[in-house]
Structures are given as structure tokens and as C-alpha cells.
């Protein structure tokens, strides 16, 4: 398994599209962009000893709320705002957590001491640590009986690696995502310059998501456009669904019958409402353990 999952130069059209596709309040977008720009600015002006800025931003929140998509979009947005050459690298944490004793620790050290610095030799470089709870496991929650010491050491290696990388490469900005901020080692979280909790989409966001999906579908099947009149209704009924689930739900409403599946232009308001209520009933009482 390869550790580098994605590597690209910024600006990137796909990332720009992703940044726009995720419906979150404008203030969150602005805060994230400003935070990263500030981290870059401070680190270029002061030494780490004077301003301990790690260049680490954490996006935490339930599954399907757009964290991974926002990470790429944020990198693209900041590179655009600063009008500078930049690179984006995504790390697959699962590729680092091997079974062999001592392997994780060695792989993690290599990642921070060698792989990232080599790839990020110059220019601004964004590094995505997706699902970081697999990498920086909370050591306090590990029972040494049940869990290999290896996991403990891997977290130690992440922290040491992060500190060394931060001091040596002030051009690197790390963006970490997690569904389980409570399972991430507090020492990792405390190194973050900023933690942004990305919540479930609110009414306004759900309205935008549904409008987006219906508008896209109506390009292929124009009668679907009429359903836009009911967006408010769909949005108010879909509270509790994450962005990914909501998009899927609207699309899967077309599976109401074989007839509609074959001719989606026949999709009606009642099919969407039924699909939504099936999903919201499903999620009641089955809330993910992640941040609500
Ligand atoms: N707020 C939102 N607005 C619009 N679309 C959204 C939103 N949140 C999620 N989505 C949709 O869900 C898809 C998945 O998002 P993404 O993979 O970035 O979520 P995630 O938070 O990283 O999920 P996970 O925690 O499961 O990895 C996006 O491509 C998008 O289509
Ligand atoms: Mg993700």
C-alpha cells in the first residue's frame, strides 16, 4: 500500500469545485481560509520558539459532512488567495498502520522525517492527514494489555515527527480530518492552530444541497425542475441527515419504482418525501458516536 494517496499542483479545478459544492456557512469558509493564511504568515515571520504555530488545522465532525472535500478546497482557496505556487499531498493513514511489530512507528517516522520533507522541498505544501484518529490514537484510552505497544509508539512517533517537521519546514501546512476527535490523542489536538467542527447541514445548507441535486438532475430530465418549488418542504423534513446522505437520498428517490428508475422525469414530490422520511426514521436513535 502506498502512503501518498494523492499528489497534485494547485490551483486545481476539482478542488475548487469541491469547495463550492460543500454548503457551509460563509463565515466558516472565511474563518478557515483566514486561519491558514495567518499560520503561513506568522511562521514566515517568527521562529517556532517565539510563536509555536504548528501549521496544523483539524476539521472534526460526523461522517459525510464534507471534511475531506473541504480540506482539498481549502488548500486550493488559500493558494489562490496568496497567489502562490503550491502543492497538495494526501496521506493514507491506513497504509501506515501495519500489523508487523514496530512497523507503524518506523513508517510514521519515515513519513514525517523523510517522505513529506522530500516532497515539500520548497513552495507552499498542504498535507492532508485524513482520518487522523487511526494515526494519532489517544494513548490514554489504550489499554496496554489489549493493544500492542506498537500503537502507543506510533502516536509518539506522530507527535515527535510533527514537531520536527514543523520546525524544519515552515512551508508545510497540515490539514487533519477526523470523525472522532475524542479518540485522537490530546497532545495532537493541542498542537492544532485551529480546530473547526463541521456539523450536520442546517436548514439553509440542506436547502442549497437539495436545490443543487434537483437542478443537476433537471438538466437531464427537465420536468424535475418543477420539484424545485418544494425545496423548502424537503429541507425542513430532512433534519439530521448529513450532506452525503442527503444527496444520496434525493437521487435514490428515483428508485421508488422501476418505472421511475427508467424514466426519472416522472419523479414526484411524494417520492422524495417518502425517501427522506425513510432516511430520517433510520437515523433516529442511531446517531453516530462522533461529534453530533
Ligand atoms: N455540507 C455539504 N454540502 C453539500 N454536500 C455535502 C456536504 N457535506 C457532504 N456533502 C456531500 O458528501 C460527499 C462526501 O463528503 P466528504 O467525503 O468530504 O465527507 P467527510 O466529512 O470527509 O466524510 P467521512 O467523515 O465519512 O470521511 C461530498 O462529496 C458531497 O457530495
Ligand atoms: Mg473524509
Compute the residue count for the chain: 292
How open is the CA angle 40-48-186, to the nearest 5 degrees? Answer: 90
The residue with cell 450532506 is: 243
In angstroms, the Cα distances linking 116 to 37, 62, 109, 112 are 20, 28, 10, 6
From 32, 62, 243, 289, the mutation candidate for ligand 1 (largest count of ligand atoms within 8 A of CB) is 243
Q: Which ligand is the nearest neighbour of the Cα of 242? A: 1
Q: How far is the CA of 46 from the centre of ligand 2 (A)?
A: 33
What pTM did the predictor assign? 0.92
Residue 70, pLDDT > 70, answer: yes
- Map out the domains of the chain with their CATH numbers: 4-197 (3.40.50.300), 203-283 (1.10.8)
Q: Which ligand is nearest to the CA of 63?
A: 1
Q: List CB contacts of 133: < 8 A, sequence separation 6 or more.
A: 178, 179, 180, 181, 183, 184
Percent of the chain's residues with pLDDT above 70: 92
Q: Which tens digits make up the pLDDT trace of 1-60?
A: 588 999 999 999 999 999 999 999 999 999 999 999 999 999 989 988 899 899 999 999
Per-residue pLDDT tens over the stretch 225-273? 999 999 999 999 999 999 999 999 999 999 999 999 999 999 999 999 9
Residue 169 cell numbers, joined = 519546514
Amino acid at each position: 500500500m502506498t502512503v501518498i494517496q494523492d499528489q497534485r499542483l494547485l490551483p486545481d479545478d476539482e478542488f475548487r469545485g469541491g469547495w463550492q459544492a460543500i454548503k457551509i456557512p460563509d463565515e466558516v469558509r472565511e474563518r478557515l481560509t483566514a486561519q491558514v493564511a495567518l499560520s503561513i504568515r506568522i511562521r514566515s515571520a517568527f521562529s517556532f520558539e517565539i510563536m509555536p504555530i504548528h501549521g496544523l488545522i483539524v476539521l472534526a465532525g460526523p461522517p459525510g459532512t464534507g471534511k475531506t472535500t473541504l480540506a482539498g478546497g481549502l488548500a486550493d482557496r488559500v493558494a489562490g488567495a496568496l497567489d502562490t505556487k503550491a502543492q497538495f499531498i494526501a496521506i493514507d493513514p491506513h497504509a501506515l498502520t501495519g500489523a508487523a511489530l514496530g512497523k507503524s512507528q518506523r513508517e510514521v517516522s519515515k513519513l514525517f522525517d523523510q517522505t513529506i520533507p522530500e516532497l515539500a522541498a520548497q513552495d507552499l505544501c498542504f498535507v492532508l492527514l485524513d482520518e487522523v484518529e487511526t494515526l494519532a490514537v489517544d494513548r490514554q484510552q489504550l489499554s496496554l494489555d489489549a493493544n500492542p505497544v506498537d500503537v502507543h509508539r506510533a502516536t509518539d512517533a506522530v507527535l515527535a515527527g510533527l514537531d520536527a517537521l514543523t520546525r524544519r519546514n515552515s512551508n508545510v501546512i497540515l490539514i487533519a480530518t477526523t470523525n472522532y476527535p475524542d479518540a485522537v490523542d490530546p497532545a495532537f489536538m493541542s498542537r492544532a492552530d485551529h480546530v473547526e467542527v463541521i456539523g450536520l447541514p442546517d436548514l439553509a445548507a440542506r436547502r442549497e444541497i437539495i436545490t443543487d441535486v434537483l437542478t443537476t438532475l433537471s438538466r437531464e430530465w427537465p420536468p424535475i425542475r418543477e420539484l424545485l418549488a418544494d425545496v423548502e418542504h424537503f429541507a425542513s423534513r430532512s433534519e439530521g441527515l448529513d450532506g452525503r446522505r442527503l444527496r444520496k437520498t434525493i437521487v435514490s428517490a428515483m428508485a421508488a419504482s422501476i418505472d421511475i428508475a427508467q424514466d426519472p422525469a416522472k419523479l414526484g414530490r411524494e417520492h422524495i418525501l417518502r425517501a427522506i422520511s425513510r432516511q430520517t426514521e433510520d437515523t433516529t436513535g442511531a446517531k453516530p458516536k462522533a461529534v453530533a
